[in-house]
Amino acid sequence: MASSVTKDAPGTTGGPTFFGHPRGLATLFMTEMWERFSFYGLRALLVVYLVAGGPDAGEGGAGHQGGGLAMNLATATAIYSVYNAMVYLLTMPGGWLADRVWGPRKTVTVGSVIIMVGHLTLALPGEPTLYVGLAFVAIGSGLLKANISKMVGDLYNGPQDPRRDGGFTIFYIGINTGSFLAPLVIGSIGQTVNWHLGFGLAAVGMALGLLQFLIGSRHLDAGSSHVPAPLSAEERASWLRKGLLWLLAAVVFYGVVVATGTFTLNWAMVPLTLLGLIIPIAVLVRIKRDRELTPADQGRMTGYIWFFVAAAVFWMIYDQGASTVQAFGDAKTSTSIFGWHFPSTWFQSINPLFIILIAPVFASLWLALNRRSKEPTTTAKFAFGLVMTGLSFFVFVIPMGMASDGTKVSPLWLVLIFLMHTIAELCISPVGLSVTTKLAPAKYASQLMGVWFLAVTAGDSVTGLLSIGGADLSTTGMVALEASLAVLAGFAVYMYRKQITSTMSEVR
């Protein structure tokens, strides 16, 4: 995408702008596009690969191969949910490393390399390499995600820059361009040719993202190379000791479990899902109680907690698009149009396609309403997004009922569900990224972006715990229950919108 010829717009780093935004947005746009290509290629394949050859697998479209791990859907959903939760949980130490050790730019570079190693590991056959590869991808994604989003916020002239929400929405187009292409390329090759070749292509995508980032980093804000609050030598030694002690404790504990022959997958998944719920709460409480924060910062954090809880409910449902909804698409949805068959992983391209088509409309709408002083508040956007999320799962109940007798339902049902997810996402996710950079106390600039991603961790951890505990998330009763929760949460946020906005000081 070419940059415009407009020079030196306020809040830019100098030189040409990118459609009226700082030129550095193009660098971050392309980096995130390729990283998302790798991430969503894996996402599209993961659950389908885990259930392939098992009782919950579908035909999956043209050339669908077997050779997966033949897991049941509950186990596959739990693995997917735990993995996804860890990706976002690890954004917190990723933000901390940027603030205290490497700075955002170097942290993104290191994370990109680790992601590549993870995908290359997944390209090797075998169940053990699956878990090792997922761990590497989660660690690398945690290093990259919070910091690249934080660098987008740094490109703008303070929290009140009216282009800020629009800039994050354009950045979201980059995310979803990669997300759209990944199932079509990685999903098709992985599902119809060779699973592990597909995983290997994800590593190529991340390599391209890293190369682009290194070439275009000169356009980024200079502060992205600086460490805001570097550790002293004593602090480094203390953190190193603590890390080694925790690692030793984990090795000894799990060594005993394995040696006694009692180890099962739940020994790993249950602690991780519990951590995914406990850590977000603990982090928010710690920041809220920090006596160094000003009263204005404390108020903003109170408002932020509302947005965090709302986002957790949203992600709990949204992320099932690649597990519960994808499994339904693979097993119970027709994957042919006019006699032409397509891989079921292509369903994962529907949401990003809608983002690409609709996001520019939302970006223009917010800016146009802002000029007229009529833009909805962040609270109103979140409330609408939650209600729309719940309604999408109420719609999902209909094709689930139609398919109960073995009938293959029309793929248009999934198109409608993903369209509703998209509308909700555009009211919550890019807006949430933006409000996080607005509300973040200076002391927690990168770390609070990591906290925002912990909302995904919390939502996915709930899904993981339900799956591990034996709840069948693919039943109409569970889907309707989740839908009701989201709608009620949306109404609650709207009813308390004035109280929430009053805590946020000058931030709207």
The pLDDT value recorded for residue 288 is 85
Instruction: Enter the pTM of the model.
Output: 0.86
Q: Which two tokens stand for residue 9?
A: 């717009």
Instruction: Outline where 67-126 has alpha helix (H).
Output: 73-89, 91-97, 104-122
The pLDDT value recorded for residue 166 is 72
21 pairs with which residues across the strands? 18
The domain locations on the chain are 24-502
Each residue's pLDDT, cut to its tens digit, for the chain (508 residues) gives 333 333 444 444 445 666 677 778 888 988 999 999 999 999 999 999 999 887 777 654 444 566 788 898 999 999 999 999 999 899 888 888 988 889 889 999 999 999 999 999 999 988 889 999 999 999 999 999 878 877 887 888 766 676 776 777 778 778 878 999 999 999 999 999 999 999 999 999 999 999 989 888 887 877 778 888 888 889 989 999 999 999 999 999 999 998 998 888 889 999 999 999 999 889 888 888 888 888 888 878 888 888 899 999 999 999 999 999 999 999 999 998 888 889 999 999 999 999 888 888 887 888 888 888 888 888 889 999 999 999 999 999 999 999 998 899 999 999 999 999 999 998 998 788 778 877 778 777 766 777 888 899 999 999 999 999 888 999 999 999 999 999 999 999 888 777 777 666 555 5
Give dist(CA 148, CA 447) in Å, integer.
Answer: 12
The pLDDT value recorded for residue 300 is 80
Cβ burial 217-243 (10 Å sphere, 16+ → b, else e): bebbbeebeebbeebeeeeeeeeeeee
The pLDDT value recorded for residue 53 is 82
Residue 175 near residue 30, CB atoms below 8 Å: no
Phi first, then psi: what are they for 284, rounded to 5°?
-60, -40
Domain covering 24-502 assigned CATH 1.20.1250.20 in the classification = yes
The pLDDT value recorded for residue 307 is 87
Phi first, then psi: what are they for 18, rounded to 5°?
-115, 90
